[in-house]
Amino acid sequence: MTESAFLPAPPVAVILLAGGQGTRAGFRQPKQLEALGGKPVLWWSLDAFAAHPAISGGVLVANDDVVAAIGDLPNAWTSADPGAERQQSVGNALASMTGWDDEALVLVHDAARPGVTAEVIDRLLAALGNAEAAIPTLPVPDTLVEQAAHLAGDVVDRGALARVQTPQAFHLGTLRRAHAEAVEAAATDDAQLVRRLGLPVVAVPGDARLHKLTYAEDMAILNGLLGIDRMTRTAVGMGYDVHRLVADKPLWIGGIEIAHSHGLEGHSDADVALHALTDAILGALGDGDIGDHFPPSDPQWRGAASHRFLGFAAERVTARGGRIDHVDLTIIAEAPKIGPHRAAMRARISEILAIPLERVSVKATTTERLGFTGRREGIAAQAAATLQLPEN
């Protein structure tokens, strides 16, 4: 047995990058706070690293609002401010690690990849026994072509290519040197900076579960990869609301203001469409109705914009670890004509709920001049909401 066999294993730290806003995903909040299987995306990585016996602590790189939203960090974890770019964020984390010697090992991970596994961590740490850096990769299964102006060009040999994932593993001293010497150089990951030092980077097998959350539809992919879909149920709620039309008031319907001779009377802005949608979502949650959460007797809601109520309902879905699959709204009015405004309403509701436009349906009808809507005394709205909620 060699002398090195008796040496203690070096400590292992984690730099967990969670500073981005994830605007491409279109969520109401940073994507790392979106619920996945009943907990924020960020916590999937935190839990995996905290549970691994080789890892001693880490640095969460995130804005103050993200740090506050997730609560207490695992033991021996601290936080650092993010930079404008990924490279600067890692640099800020390294600058904060004053208590870690260069002999330590470090894993740099993107919190938007929640499917980190102990097996990938083990493979990376084992590779650092004979290398300064290691990254997880997956083969490229698709045919690749060059493309210009939406025209397919020559096929690219995929046999020489690989998809790079995180976490990426380094000797801490090597990573510090790579960042120190990259003042004028930019890179999309840390392995590129290490290669610029002339050092080899070892590739180990990655894991399909390390899929990156970039767009809203990636949530469905992650649900499948992580086995979450088997733990959800479908919930459907219905909502109905009516408001009287009165002269000399602005008319708000579906989150937009419509020029009309009359507006809707109510304690808030009386947006009958958003009220019906709010009740539909709350109904699917089994969480009362709009009056329970925003009572008309409370003066703070006088004249309030109804998008606040609908946004609140969406946040209740997120807090339960669920997602909104689809909403369907029918507006019942003799006047004004809703058709010219349907596209704007759909877009606004999509924005408020932070769901893709194709998950929002807005329709309109009349009552053939029958009843209070036919007499133009008021406007009514019916709504249905379909949610996916985690099983208890």
Residue 332 maps to which CATH number?
3.30.1330.50
Model pLDDT, residue 13: 97
Q: Do 209 and 71 belong together in one domain?
A: yes
Structural domain containing residue 302: 232-390
Q: Do 118 and 208 belong together in one domain?
A: yes
| Residue in 108, 322, 112 with CA at minimum distance from that of residue 211 | 112
Q: Average pLDDT per run of 10 along the chain, which is 392 residues long?
A: 60 94 70 84 93 95 90 90 93 96 97 96 96 96 89 90 96 96 84 95 96 88 81 90 93 94 90 97 94 87 90 89 91 94 95 90 94 92 93 66
Q: Do 202 and 101 belong together in one domain?
A: yes
Q: Do 161 and 303 belong together in one domain?
A: no
Quote the tokens at residue 392. Answer: 């208890």
Q: Which of 227, 252, 273 is the last residue of a domain?
A: 227
Report the residue count for the chain. 392
Q: For the chain, what is the radius of gyration of the CA atoms?
A: 26
Which residue pairs from 179-188 have beta carbons closer than 8 angstroms and sit at least 24 positions apart in sequence? 179/87, 179/90, 179/91, 179/94, 182/87, 186/85, 186/87, 187/87, 188/86
Q: Do 101 and 238 belong together in one domain?
A: no
**Alpha-carbon span 40 to 71, nearest angstrom:** 11
**Alpha-carbon span 267 to 264, nearest angstrom:** 10
**Domains in the chain: how many in total?**
2
- CA 324 vs CA 219, 278, 297, 352: distances in Å: 12, 12, 30, 12
Q: Do 64 and 205 belong together in one domain?
A: yes
Report the predicted TM-score, pTM, of the whole model to 2 decimal places: 0.64
Q: Do 222 and 243 belong together in one domain?
A: no
362 and 271 in contact (C-beta within 8 Å)?
A: no
Q: Which of 204, 227, 250 is the last residue of a domain?
A: 227
Q: Do 240 and 323 belong together in one domain?
A: yes
Q: Which residues, listed in sequence order, are joined to residue 253 by a DSSP beta bridge? A: 256
Model pLDDT, residue 343: 95
Residues 6+ apart with CB under 8 A from 8: none
Q: Which of 227, 254, 278 is the last residue of a domain?
A: 227
Q: Do 247 and 376 belong together in one domain?
A: yes
19 and 63 in contact (C-beta within 8 Å)?
A: yes
Residues 6+ apart with CB under 8 A from 342: 362, 363, 364
286 φ, ψ to 5°? 65, 40
Q: Do 216 and 248 belong together in one domain?
A: no
Q: Do 84 and 213 belong together in one domain?
A: yes
Q: Do 76 and 201 belong together in one domain?
A: yes
**Alpha-carbon span 44 to 39, nearest angstrom:** 8
Output the domain CATH number for residue 153.
Answer: 3.90.550.10
**Alpha-carbon span 122 to 127, nearest angstrom:** 9
Strands (E), the chain: 12-17, 35-36, 39-40, 55-61, 77-80, 105-110, 133-139, 144-148, 151-156, 162-164, 168-171, 202-205, 232-247, 251-253, 256-258, 262-264, 323-332, 360-365, 378-390
Model pLDDT, residue 16: 98
